[in-house]
A and B are shown apart, each in its own frame.
Chain A
């Protein structure tokens, strides 16, 4: 009897141990992708889970990058933070600085992925000499043109759009010809495009190396004056796109705008909306040829347990791998981050059939990472109001930027 009891107990214990060994490690993952991008991401997650039966990725769409930052703020003190999260490439520095993110160098050093990543993809995740995120969706701004609108305005061939004057001239042509039909020349630039246009004028908002605030530098002021003039001076961009940035993009997708400057991540939706009427061109080189690298990467929260961090890294490594990255690139238009992506059949097909998708890759020679100290999060959140006031003609550009620069310097002194 005693023997039977012992055997039963031992069998029970072994069964429990086996179940526990097979129990999936759950990685709670917050991201910012919905619609077509969300579907591609879901596919990558499903394939990862199939290849890694012991890991369950519990993915949640949280909102845009700003929403993720806001919700992380609430979740961290409440100890409800996820295990892995998508963070925009200029805003993770704050979280790294405050010890919220886990350092990834140890994982990266031991992973073949390290050598497969493009240089830019390794660099954008580094803050103060350490790696905190691995890029997932990398982008640069590009210039989207609606060829049908241009043709209707008398521009059968797309003219050279290589500098600010050329873009303004084309926008004016569209506006003069089709403005009465409710078609605007150009969409008011969103914040990512504004940053790109400042870099195209040989300046920056914050120097990515020295950290100097360049908001009131003459070239920055000049770039903002040109951007604001599109709306309030020349009237070639709708004011609707100033108060709500997505309005400009939506109007372009609806065929109501001649041009827009926006992330290459919009390629798929623009292609779907405009089909063969879509042309994708590089950003202008006004005083310089330079574009910002945007997008986001995946970071691991330091609050996650070691086992969960390991599982999260395996997912990051898989998502940045050539096969997943090829699907992501072909399905969304975001740039490849892996040197082997282009060799994947799905990526090769996209490169061959959709020439517009390569424009962002072509800009990589002049692309650079942006600053990412804690003050950038504050600066980006505050810039919207300043831009709005300038673009709507409510404040002169130079004094508005001087004031904004002074406030940013004070904030940098407080938070960096």
Chain B
């Protein structure tokens, strides 16, 4: 009854969906990166590598690369360390842990825009609750969203708060997969808690860490909403991530060719990072205890 075409027919809808909504836009973006277009003109003249030359010679682009890399370098390890630490506590199946898991996961399913708006109010200089708390303690008010030295930290805090719940849930799944025998054996050998964590938990949860690392680095390079709502890349470019620059150039300044060139460069950068990670870290990941 089953013809050879059946499997292809079964996967065809998905392939069609991914093709239309993922690969066609990627290829269109690649094509547009070699053209000059403002979304409105009927003509899209071919300009070769001019858009790439413009991007590579722009201070704004290199500032965005620096800011995004800094953001990723701080926020990814922070997220993973916090998530592993909290997951190690929440892995136990007791009522408080279950309640906490739900509470910590809540931000992951909350609208990012709503979170960013609320944190904007909290971090407002003159009317924000955080500065009010600092003032109550006799400390000076800080220009959280106006000081270039602080604004990126605020974005890191908000993004970590938003994403942490997801990382914790994934880590809990990873921790639950570690056989209890290994902990029992370590206990028989007199292993202390910290030692067992370092020598048993961390290596055996490595596949989860590797997966989260991949995901969180990609997310870090694609962060947009929190920045767009809270700082729009400011002050003075201190939080101007690559995707914010891409959006601003393409959709605010009407230069879709240059915006597409930035998108293509971001794609190349992320692919290169994924390859490096798989070469460097992939060998250290063991999928069996």
Instruction: Establish whether residues A247 and B40, one from each chain, have CB atoms under 8 Å apart when the complex forms.
Output: no
CB contacts (< 8 Å) of A384 on chain B: these are 232
Q: How far is the CA of A244 from the CA of B121 in the complex (A)?
A: 11
Closest to A95 in B: B40
Q: How many residues of A contact B (CB 8 A)?
A: 34
A70 → chain B, closest Cβ, in Å? 5
From A66, A74, A389, residue with most partner B Cβ within 10 Å: A389
Contact partner of B125 (CB less than 8 A), chosen from A74, A94, A238, A378, is A238
Bound-state CA distance A66–B252 (Å) is 8
Tell me whether A243 and B254 are in contact (CB under 8 A): no
CA distance A165 to B39 in the complex (A): 45
A240 touches B251 (CB 8 A): no
Q: CB < 8 Å: which of A76, A182, A247 contacts B39?
A: A76
Given contacts A238-B125, A240-B126, contact A394 B252 (CB under 8 A): no
List the A residue with the shortest CB-CB distance to B120: A244
Contact B236 A389 (CB under 8 A): yes
Indicate if B127 sits at the interface (CB-CB under 8 A).
yes
CB of A286 within 8 Å of the partner chain: no
Interface of B, helix, strand, loop or mixed by DSSP: loop
Does A381 interact with chain B (Cβ within 8 Å)?
Answer: yes
Q: Which chain A residues lie closer than 8 Å to B252 at the CB level?
A: 66, 70, 381
* Beta-carbon nearest neighbor of A182 in chain B: B126
Quick one: which of B41, B127, B146 contacts A182, CB cutoff 8 A?
A: B127
Q: Does B107 touch A at the CB level, under 8 Å? A: no
Residue of B nearest to A411 (CB): B253
A415→B38 CA distance, assembly (Å): 9
Give the shortest distance, in Å, between B248 (CB) and chain A (any CB): 8
**In the complex, residue of chain B having the shortest beta-carbon distance to the beta carbon of A384:** B232
| A238 partner residues in chain B, CB cutoff 8 A | 125-127
Contact yes or no, B120 A392, CB < 8 A: no
A221-263 interface mask toward B, CB cutoff 8 Å, 1 = contact, 0 = none? 0000000000000000011101110010001000010000000
Q: How far is the CB of B262 from chain A (nearest CB, A)?
A: 16
Task: Using known A-B contacts A73-B39, A182-B126, determine if residue A392 contacts B254 with beta carbons closer than 8 Å.
Answer: no
Is A77 an interface residue when CB atoms closer than 8 A count as contact? yes
Given contact pairs A74-B39, A243-B235, A394-B236, A377 touches B124 in the complex (Cβ within 8 A)? no
Judging by beta carbons under 8 Å apart, are A77 and B39 in contact?
Answer: yes
B237 at the interface (CB under 8 A from A): yes
Chain B: CB-nearest residue to A183: B126
B174 part of interface (Cβ distance < 8 Å): no
Q: A95 — which chain B residues lie within 8 A by C-beta?
A: 40
Q: Does B233 contact A (CB under 8 A)?
A: yes
Known: A240-B127, A377-B254. A389 touches B235 (CB 8 A): yes
Please give, as numbers and ranges, the residues of chain B lying within 8 Å of A73 by CB-CB distance.
39-40, 251, 254
B203 within 8 Å of A (CB atoms):
no
Interface flag for B207 (CB, 8 Å): no
Map CB proximity to A onto B227-248 as digits: 1 under 8 Å, 0 otherwise. Answer: 0000111111100000000001
Contacting pair A94 B40 (CB below 8 A): yes
Residue of A nearest to B251 (CB): A70
Residues of B within 8 A of A99 (CB): 40, 42
**Cβ of A100 under 8 Å from chain B:** yes
Of A76, A240, A247, A388, most B-chain CB atoms within 10 Å: A240
Of the candidates A66, A74, A243, A256, which one forms a contact with B146 in the assembled complex, judged by CB atoms under 8 Å apart? A243
> Which B residues are CB-close (under 8 A) to A74?
39, 251
Neighbour of B143 across the interface among A184, A239, A247, CB < 8 A: A239
B243 to chain A, nearest CB (A): 15
Once the chains are docked, how many angstroms separate the CA of A84 from the CA of B41?
A: 19
Assess the A242–B126 pair: CB atoms within 8 A. Answer: no
Residues of chain A with a CB closer than 8 A to B237's CB: 385
A98 interfacial by beta-carbon distance below 8 Å = yes
Interface string of B245-266 (1 = CB under 8 A from A): 0001001111000000000000
B205 in contact (CB, < 8 A): no
Chain B: minimal CB distance from A371 (Å)? 17
Residues of A within 8 A of B251 (CB): 70, 73-74
- A 351-375 to B, binary, CB cutoff 8 A, 1 in contact else 0: 0000000000000000000000000
A320 → B minimal CB distance (Å): 26
| Contact partners of A184 in chain B: CB under 8 A | 126
Which of A98, A243, A251, A394 lies in contact with B41, CB distance below 8 A?
A98
Does A382 have its Cβ within 8 Å of any Cβ on chain B? yes
Taking the closest CB of chain A, its distance from the CB of B171, in whole angstroms, is 35
A-B contact pairs, 11 of them (CB 8 A): A70-B252, A73-B40, A73-B254, A94-B40, A98-B38, A100-B40, A240-B146, A243-B145, A388-B234, A389-B236, A415-B254
Given contacts A73-B40, A238-B125, 10 further A-B contacts (CB under 8 A): A66-B252, A76-B39, A99-B40, A240-B125, A243-B145, A388-B234, A388-B235, A389-B235, A392-B236, A394-B235
B: residues with CB less than 8 A from A are 38-42, 120, 124-127, 143, 145-146, 148, 231-237, 248, 251-254
Which A-B residue pairs are the 8 nearest by beta carbons? Answer: A98-B40, A73-B39, A394-B236, A239-B146, A381-B252, A238-B126, A389-B236, A388-B234
